[in-house]
Amino acid sequence: ITPDVTEYLYYNGFILHSAERYVHSTNSMLIDTGTYHTPVIDNAKRLNKPVASRGLGSGSDLCLTQDKVKVEFFEVSQDVIDIARNPNLLKSLSTCGESYDIYLGDARLGIKNKPNEYYGGIISTATSSSTVPFHLMTREAFSIYLSKLSPGGALVFLAPASYFDYSPLFAAYSHEFKMAVYELEMSFGGDYKYQYFLFLKPPESNEVLGENLDWSLLKPSKDEGVLWTDDYYNIWAVTK
């Protein structure tokens, strides 16, 4: 980008696993505090609770914590872990502190093993590709995540939206779990879109919504026919 700033991108096929910017003169990362991650992590700091990050990428969530709370990364690929840990390839883990753990394996199973109300925030980017890992998005899965979330905590979930609209599903989850759920859609050029869904566990803090993010509160839906379970999901119900 400049002689002093290098951008590192990690692609696997057409899937972007991570993007980070490293400043050579200060041995530091350029941090984008305007992302949806930031208010969730800041809220976890206020609660003094660790953060779960599903999908390691470069480990950039560690930089947002400023070493104030622990980040627990869950990653299914050993290759992704090896690349993130190699300072010649990516910089976040080697630059932004030591308050983190990395767990190799399925995020749902890993989070299930944690104590109840353990996390102040849960961030999911494990669904950022065009392929949907359905087992991470069922009613039973969210029941696990929310049970591990501290009162006042927040869970943000990223889903590909170029061909899908998950709003009916998450509106049903809002009713199912009696919890406020917000939705935000962003476009990254052309028709490549994402939806973000934010769960706020009572007592809610509106600070988690951030100052520059245009969240919309979903109206809870009683339509149980759109709910996904471990036994059944209807992809056509969320297809555009």
Query: CA-based angle 156:160:164, to the nearest 5?
Result: 115
Is the predicted pLDDT of residue 16 greater than 90, yes or no? no
Angle between helices 139-147 and 167-177 (to 10 degrees): 50
Q: What is the mean pLDDT of residues 173-183?
A: 95
Residue 63: phi and psi, rounded to 5, are -65, -35
Q: Residue 205 has what pLDDT?
A: 81
**Which of these, 85, 117, 127, 129, lies nearest to 104 by C-alpha position?**
85
Mean of the pLDDT values across residues 86-100?
Answer: 92
Report which of 103, 89, 25, 95 is spatially closest to residue 66, judged by C-alpha positions: 95
User: Is the pTM value of this prediction over 0.75?
Assistant: yes
Token pair for 119: 């996390």
Residue 123 pairs with which residues in a beta bridge?
A: 53, 156
Mean pLDDT, the chain, integer:
88
103 or 55, which is more confident: 103
Q: Is the pLDDT at 105 greater than 70, yes or no? A: yes
